[in-house]
Structure 1
Amino acid sequence: MGANYIFSLEPTFTQGLVLGQLSVIVLLGLILKYIFLESTHNPFDTSGYQTRADNNFTLRAQKPEVQEAVNERQEGDQESAEWFNTLLRQVVDVYRSKLRDDLPSAEGDEIARKRIEDYANKIRPAGFLDHIKIHSVDLGVSAPRLHNARLSSLKSCAPFIEIECDTTYTDTLSISLSTSYLFNYPMSGFARLPVSLTVSLSQFKSSINITPPSPNSLAPVLTFSISPDFTLDLTTTSLMGSRAKLANVPKLHELIQHQVRRILAARGTWKVVLPGLATVSEAREQVQKEMKEEQFS
């Protein structure tokens, strides 16, 4: 009878193989959980998650008038868009000021940081990401610059033309944050993988098409759209892990770059309703109708 049982008091080859495999799995799980993953509820207490944005002080110190004059000389004989760049810069400065509640220095920075943190946690996937902590935000000091404006005919509307111009945006825009990726297997809240990120804008280049409203449209709009072949250069520094940290993982940089490009490509068209001719809701219905017609055509 005793020979029919798999387990006995005397160790066998099968028992040794099973116990060996189990010990390797348990050891691997302990290494992941206690070295790379975070099992506490306060992953932001360590100093590694207080990464500050590395601002470009050279760009900040450079006088805007000097930089604008250099850019203007580089444009050669092209039609000057300096009047529009000046207007655009003032509009961007107003947005920055309102995001800071019109408060200067550190007090305004804290208000902007808190607003961005609240928005980030509002849209985060709660099942995959823990609370997002924004450590610092740099709203930048510059604005996109337009140049090399040119006219081109619309193929769909022969009498009408559209304006195409190039834009370049170089700034100190950056954000530093930390969060944790949640592992909910084999149980909810099994472990966390702390992640610390600092993402900075290096350069953005694209062509912009400005399409005039169609007189045949029920809700005429002025359309601004960026080219799908835009150039986006981001600088990313990262730390992953709890006790043993992985720095500047290339795949993480590629993922962030891809997601930002995808969002810009998906939302790279803005439509401005002409005052007195239509409302925003009417223009939205018209856009949805045109999209459906394009899908069935």
Structure 2
Amino acid sequence: MASLSTDTCPAKAEPALSFTQGLILGQLSVVLVLAAFIKFFIFGDPPSPEVTASLRATERRSRTLAHKRSLLSLRTANAKQGQQTLNRKKSSVLRNPPNLTIGSILSKTYYNVDSHQPESLDWFNVLVAQTIAQFRSDAQHDDAILSSLTKALNGGSRPDFVDEIRVTELSLGEDFPIFSNCRVIPVDEDGLSLGNGRTLDASAATREGAKLQARMDVDLSDMLTLALETKLLLNYPKKLSAVLPVALSVSVVRFSGTLSISFIPSNPSQSTPTMMTFSFMDDYRLDLSIRSLLGSRSRLQDVPKIAQLIEARLHRWFDERCVEPRFQEIALPSLWPRKKNTRGPEDGLAETNASVGRAKGKDINQDLRAEARREVEAEAGTRTGREHDSLRRRRMRSEDDFAMPGSLPGLDIDMRT
């Protein structure tokens, strides 16, 4: 029986490591993984700005080329068919102008896109500088931009684990953008250049949907700063179990790129106004300076990975809004002269008089009250003088002394004194 039990119940193999040794080995592996993560992910050296800018430019360029290829593939033979127009009765008074194309516009303005030299836009830089200077001056005396920015940061898109965001610093800079090297380029309805580096074809200039696009270089070297403070609310395992203060400062140091501006004519059939579109080419460069501070007592300053994440998010935000093939549209008002928009010397004089009247209203009222007070005092003084003269005349008539009846004997009263 003993031999049978030995054969049916083999002895258990003892583990090579004890429980304590396995626990220690597991803890060491976790510590090593955390140390590697902190060293290479958080405190790792970021790539140089030149390498980062080159990688982003390559990515944007590949995205633009893919978009152009998709547009060319979607164009079919039926795109040459004319668009249907509304059967409206033409005016018998208004003369029908000839068909206006970009070729006729260029010829009538004596602009040769193949030989015309780029313009410097010095006058435009002065106008833009005056506009920006006025905007900065208004921002110094009004908290509208600060309140709007705070409201936008604390809007509905703010996560639940982020406390209220407070703006601690806002700098609008001191320098101005410089526009230069402006040139006019014919493009098709999709924004693709018609010349492609070659001489402009006359047939392409008369194609329907073609338009003119102005491209200019933009360069800004300044320090536009936005500093924020908030707290990260760690609600695990219970609500508000830990709070991590966070301070961030983002500064725009340099921006350079190519700005494209074009016009979309109005469409009476769809009641759409004339639109101005602008976008930036994919060769722009945006240099940022990001500072961070984590913690309250033991503070962690300028974490490289946080700077990389914020910079990537800002570049993506800019690319999704105004970098080709995306663009921004601005509706232009009507340029026909109107009476309500007329301003002149008479209006300026009337406004000046009204403002002067409002400013001097209180002074005029005070002067009127003071003059009335002086007249009342003068009239009161005249009345007092008359009473004094009449009293003096009565005294002159009573030259004799008289005695008051019932007075003591020998007591005389002189009424003149």
Give the TM interval when normalised to the shorter protein: 0.5 to 0.7
Q: Deviations over 1:163-208 (max 9, x none)?
A: 1111112212112221112222222322222111121111011111
- Asked whether the 8 Å contact 1:92–1:143 carries over to 2, the reply is yes
CA distance in 1 between counterparts of 2:183 and 2:237 reads 59
- Asked whether the 8 Å contact 1:181–1:194 carries over to 2, the reply is yes
- Which residue is equivalent to 1:44? none
Are 1:188 and 2:239 an aligned pair?
Answer: yes
Are 1:99 and 2:124 an aligned pair?
Answer: no
Instruction: Using the TM superposition, give the Cα deviation of residue 229 of structure 1 relative to its aligned residue in structure 2, in angstroms.
Output: 3.7
Return the TM-score normalized by structure 1.
0.59
More RCO (CA 8 Å, sep 6+) = 1
The structure with the greater share of residues assigned to strand is 1
1:157-176 to 2 correspondence within 5 Å? Answer: 159-176=210-227
Instruction: Using the TM superposition, give the Cα deviation of residue 252 of structure 1 relative to its aligned residue in structure 2, in angstroms.
Output: 0.8
User: Counterpart amino acid of 1:271?
Assistant: E
Out of 150, 153, 159, the position equivalent to 1:120 is: 153
Are 1:270 and 2:306 an aligned pair?
Answer: no
CA distance in 1 between counterparts of 2:155 and 2:265 reads 38
- Which residue is equivalent to 1:261? 315
CA distance in 1 between counterparts of 2:156 and 2:281 reads 27
Q: Deviations over 1:77-109 (max 9, x none)?
A: 741201111111222223223333xx2xxxx6x
What residue ranges of structure 1 are gaps of 5+ in the alignment?
A: 1-12, 29-76, 278-297
1:46-65 to 2 correspondence within 5 Å? Answer: none
1:120-139 to 2 correspondence within 5 Å? Answer: 120-122=153-155, 125-139=158-172
CA separation of 1:165 and 1:240: change in aligned 2, threshold 3 A = same
1:142-153 to 2 correspondence within 5 Å? Answer: 142-153=175-186
- Asked whether the 8 Å contact 1:146–1:167 carries over to 2, the reply is yes
Bigger Rg over Cα: 2
User: Counterpart amino acid of 1:139?
Assistant: L
CA distance in 1 between counterparts of 2:310 and 2:288 reads 9
What's the RMSD between the two structures over aligned residues? 2.9
- Asked whether the 8 Å contact 1:176–1:197 carries over to 2, the reply is yes
Are 1:233 and 2:287 an aligned pair?
Answer: yes
CA separation of 1:123 and 1:146: change in aligned 2, threshold 3 A = farther
CA separation of 1:118 and 1:17: change in aligned 2, threshold 3 A = farther
CA separation of 1:124 and 1:272: change in aligned 2, threshold 3 A = closer
CA distance in 1 between counterparts of 2:155 and 2:183 reads 41
- Which residue is equivalent to 1:284? none
Are 1:245 and 2:245 an aligned pair?
Answer: no
- Asked whether the 8 Å contact 1:113–1:135 carries over to 2, the reply is no
- Asked whether the 8 Å contact 1:152–1:163 carries over to 2, the reply is yes
- Asked whether the 8 Å contact 1:133–1:179 carries over to 2, the reply is yes
CA separation of 1:130 and 1:86: change in aligned 2, threshold 3 A = same
Instruction: Using the TM superposition, give the Cα deviation of residue 126 of structure 1 relative to its aligned residue in structure 2, in angstroms.
Output: 4.4
Question: Percent identity, aligned pairs only?
Answer: 30
Out of 207, 210, 235, the position equivalent to 2:261 is: 210
CA distance in 2 between counterparts of 1:250 and 1:171 reads 23
User: Counterpart amino acid of 1:265?
Assistant: D
CA distance in 2 between counterparts of 1:192 and 1:227 reads 43
- Which residue is equivalent to 1:179? 230
CA distance in 2 between counterparts of 1:17 and 1:263 reads 51
3-state SS, counterpart of residue 314 of structure 2: helix
What residue ranges of structure 2 are gaps of 5+ in the alignment?
A: 1-17, 32-116, 190-207, 336-417
- Asked whether the 8 Å contact 1:207–1:226 carries over to 2, the reply is yes
User: Counterpart amino acid of 1:223?
Assistant: T
- Which residue is equivalent to 1:221? 275
Q: Deviations over 1:262-295 (max 9, x none)?
A: 2212222321213239xxxxxxxxxxxxxxxxxx
CA separation of 1:17 and 1:132: change in aligned 2, threshold 3 A = farther
CA distance in 2 between counterparts of 1:78 and 1:161 reads 15
3-state SS, counterpart of residue 154 of structure 2: helix
Instruction: Using the TM superposition, give the Cα deviation of residue 135 of structure 1 relative to its aligned residue in structure 2, in angstroms.
Output: 1.6
CA separation of 1:210 and 1:115: change in aligned 2, threshold 3 A = closer
CA separation of 1:259 and 1:123: change in aligned 2, threshold 3 A = farther
- Asked whether the 8 Å contact 2:118–2:183 carries over to 1, the reply is no
Return the TM-score normalized by structure 2.
0.43
Equivalent pairs counted in the alignment come to 203
- Asked whether the 8 Å contact 1:223–1:270 carries over to 2, the reply is yes
CA distance in 2 between counterparts of 1:129 and 1:222 reads 38
- Asked whether the 8 Å contact 2:266–2:275 carries over to 1, the reply is no
